[in-house]
Structure 1
Amino acid sequence: MILLSMIGVLVSTKGMRLVIHQSGVPSEVVFLEEFEAGEPQGHEVRVRMLYAPINPADLNFIEGTYGKAPNFPAVPGVEGCGRVESVGEAVESLEVGDLVIPLSAWGSWTTTMVLAENQFAKLPKDFDEVQAAMLRVNPTTAWRLLHEYRLLEQGDWVVQNAGNSGVGRAVIQIAKSQGFRTISFVRRQELIAELKALGGDAVFLDDAEGVRLALELVGEEKVRLALNAVGGDSALRLMEVVSVSGAVVTYGAMSRRSLKVPNKYLIFKDLEIRGCWLSRWMDHASSAEIAEVMQPLVAMVMKGDLLQPVERVFEVGEYREALARAQESGRAGKVLLKF
């Protein structure tokens, strides 16, 4: 089917999307299918998607190990960006050509999205499209980690593992802009200089010697917040570094090992153990709350103070190669799909 947009441009209502009909190995259960996107009605807008990254959450969603089970058939993709292609007759906040990111939890691995206008966040039209596609998950998570669990002041220390992850890099850059100091643990020696160049104050290997160096560095100063993306023994090393009455916030479980908290950290350090799941917050946050987080992040990206590295951009037809690369270690950045 073909329809006319509000500016008279011919627009097809058919699209292509990546779909799963069952959980399993990503390369075996993801398929590219045609679908009828339909025409926007009322407060709906039709968005032509441009880019979408492949995040660990996407892979977990496909495998069936994510916090929310898919309703089949399901379209993966927790973030991305696109431009408004046509609008319903009651739309007020968006117009054709606007650059937007979807706020809905899933469904960005598609050429076309038709949703209510309040399900998209508008970005400056000249905002970098690739960076826009990666704005919703990692930078937003990093911002919330740094602002929701402890009221940090300039000069305060924050310790994290997985410092080279997408969230970890965002934490380093955002913390630097806010005047917070970071200690980041990593698994590979070659990452130390790289993360220091990014703005990290201290970067150590994630082992017992790294803990010793971190404690030596901070001395009597307080480390009020620890950010855990790994779990297992790595999380215990964070608990060793964080100060009495500090918060340990878990937002990932890369090691797939349980978080077992020794009694001493609860009794003698009175640590607060918290969890952070962006999807839950996005489901309940108001438009104003989301904007309050997005606005400073957009400003940072526009100034060049917050950038996420890209390993490679794959055309959507190369999705199997993209999925394979996204699951490999040693990447220099995100793998993205281009629609």
Structure 2
Amino acid sequence: MLKAEYQERGPVPQDVIEAVPFEKPALGEGEVLVELLAAPINPSDVLTLTGEYGMLPPLPAVGGNEGVGKVVELGPGVDKPAVGQTVLLPVGCGTWRTHLVAQADKLIPLPNEADPQQLSMISINPPTASLLLSEFVDLQPGDWVIQNAANSGVGSYLIQLAKIRGFRTVNIVRRESLIAPLKEEGADVVLVDGDDLASRVKEATGGAPIRLGIDAVGDTATGRIADCLAEAATLVNYGMMSGKPCKISPASLIFRGVSLKGFWLAKWFENASPEQQIAVYGELTKLIAAGKLKAPIDSVFSVKDIKRAVALAAEGERSGKVLVTA
């Protein structure tokens, strides 16, 4: 059994984490042993290793915030979930390990017939994309949404969910090679970022008003998205891939009344009722199980190759998510 552990944080994420062997733990009352099926490496995981994320676990820690596994052993007093059942792992439990012990009543059963690699990414990016589309602007079928970092995990889910809900998307990327893949995912418009973005967006949409903008980059990219929005529109920032604060002009904020808001899924969880959470995840699970919602996967590494996996995930030149398996 192996776990991807880090004793410190540092500027090069792959340098601080390594695969460490551990003995099979004894199961206590109400516990089960779960074998990892798949766990993604998200930007937040990389930022956690470098110490730049908004919420950092105490050290030493095991990497990974989400994933799915298969129940392989039941502890005393446990009769479900059954051995062999695919389960959603608790968020933040350190999922980059071949096996983990969990409280049985904290595990959410998932469809065994669904693709575990796609299910492994359900906890963070899909609900983020879903809520970005529903929590800020009352969009109607036919409305336009614009986002940058459109080739990211959230960006990919947002394109697909917008299509399912009847919205149209303008998707901003950094290189032309990403245009064709995003078009295949259902993107209506894909443009390479640049200083003349607003004029090109206006031409591509026929001047249609865009009331919702979504920014994951920060810095001047935030302002370029704002320049594309209609009067009194809402711009939501959920990431800082540039490593710099959002920059937006007074012309957008004052004269056109654009509102800049922030979104963090962890904060949403703090305020959402159990019923609201079940509704969001219920919809997403059905879509993923039916093959209607999926994310591109760049590569898959075992826990023993965690250094290579993290190094690749930290790079920008990828064609999808990096996953960790047992």
TM-score bracket, shorter-length normalisation: over 0.9
Do residues 18 (structure 1) and 4 (structure 2) align?
yes
Do the aligned partners of 1:48 and 1:112 also contact (CA within 8 Å) in 2? yes
The 8 Å contact of residues 104 and 119 in structure 1, kept in 2 or not, is answered as: no
Shift of 1:39: 4.1
Query: Does structure 2 conserve the Cα–Cα contact (< 8 Å) formed by 1:64 and 1:70?
Result: no
In the TM superposition, residue 110 of structure 1 has moved relative to its aligned partner by 1.4
Moved more, 58-67 or 286-295: 286-295
- Counterpart selection for 2:134 from 140, 143, 147: 147
The 2-side partners of 1:83 and 1:181 are apart by 38
User: Post-superposition shift, 1:50?
Assistant: 1.7
1:336 corresponds to which of 319, 323, 326: 323
- 2:305 is matched with 318
8 Å CA contact 2:81–2:109 kept in 1: the answer is yes
Whether the aligned pair in 1 keeps the contact of 2:41 and 2:322 (CA below 8 Å) is yes
Q: 1:286 and 1:94 mapped to 2: Cα distance?
A: 24
1:27 paired residue number = 14
Q: In structure 2, how many angstroms separate the alpha carbons of the residues matched to 1:201 and 1:294? A: 26
The separation in 2 between residues aligned to 1:212 and 1:275, in whole angstroms, is 26
Measure how far apart 1:42 and its partner are.
4.3
Q: 1:54 to 1:255 in 2, by over 3 A?
A: same
Count of aligned pairs between the two proteins = 325
Give the aligned partner of residue 178 of structure 1: 165
Q: Bigger shift: 130-139 or 277-286?
A: 277-286
Distance 1:29 1:224, change over 3 A: same
Q: Distance in 1 between matches of 2:225 and 2:80?
A: 44
CA distance in 2, matches of 1:140, 1:92: 30
> Alignment partner for residue 71 of structure 1, among 34, 45, 58?
58
Cα deviations across residues 142-163 of structure 1 (Å, max 9, x unaligned)? 1111111122111111100011
* Cα separation, partners in 2 of 1:121 and 1:269, compared to 1, 3 Å: farther
Equivalent AA in structure 2 for residue 273 of structure 1: L
- Partner of 1:46, secondary structure, is strand
Residue in 2 aligned with 1:280? 267
- Indicate how the Cα distance of structure 1 residues 195 and 320 shifts in structure 2: closer, same or farther if over 3 A, else same: same
Q: Is 1:120 equivalent to 2:107 in the alignment?
A: yes
What are the within-5 Å matches in structure 2 for residues 1-339 of structure 1?
Answer: 15-24=1-10, 25-36=12-23, 38-89=25-76, 91=78, 94-219=81-206, 221-283=208-270, 285-339=272-326
CA distance in 2, matches of 1:319, 1:330: 18
1:82, 1:100 within 8 Å by CA — same for their partners in 2? yes
One-letter code of the match for 2:262?
G
Name the aligned partner's letter for residue 16 of structure 1.
L
Cα distance between partner residues in 2 of 1:288 and 1:16: 36
1:286-310 Cα shifts (integer Å, max 9, x gaps): 4433221122222222332212111
- Give the CA deviation at 1:334: 1.4
Bigger CA drift: 203-212 or 40-49? 40-49
For residues 238 and 335 of structure 1, what CA distance do their matches in structure 2 show?
Answer: 28
Query: Relative to structure 1, is the Cα distance of residues 148 and 92 closer, same or farther in structure 2, using a 3 angstrom cutoff?
Result: farther
8 Å CA contact 2:28–2:75 kept in 1: the answer is yes
2:61 match: secondary structure: coil
What percent identity do the matched residue pairs reach? Answer: 38
TM-score by length of 1: 0.89
How does the TM-score come out when normalised to structure 2? 0.92
Name the CA shift for 1:97/1:180 in 2 (closer, same or farther; >3 Å): same
Tell me, what secondary structure is at the counterpart of 1:208? Answer: coil
Task: Let me know the Cα RMSD of the aligned residues.
Answer: 2.0
The structure with higher relative contact order (CA 8 Å, sep 6+) is 2
Runs of 5+ in structure 2 lacking a partner?
A: none
1:8 aligns with: none
Paired with 1:72 and 1:162, the residues of 2 have a C-alpha distance of 31
- Please tell me whether the aligned partners of residues 137 and 212 of structure 2 are also in contact (alpha carbons under 8 angstroms): yes
| Secondary structure, aligned partner of 1:17 | strand
C-alpha change, 1:221 and 1:231, in structure 2 (3 Å) is same
Per the alignment, in what secondary structure is the counterpart of residue 190 of structure 1? Answer: helix
Report the alpha carbon displacement of residue 90 of structure 1 after superposing the two structures with TM. 5.2
Output the CA distance in 1 between the equivalents of 2:44 and 2:321: 13
Task: For structure 1, list consecutive stretches of 5 or more residues without a partner in the other structure.
Answer: 1-14
Q: Deviations over 1:216-273 (max 9, x none)?
A: 3334533111110111111111101121222111111111121133222222222222
Separation in structure 1 between the aligned mates of residue 100 and residue 231 of structure 2, nearest angstrom: 48
CA shift, 1:26, in A, is 2.1
Equivalent-residue separation in structure 1 for 2:179 and 2:271 (angstroms): 37
8 A contact 2:218–2:241 mirrored in 1: yes
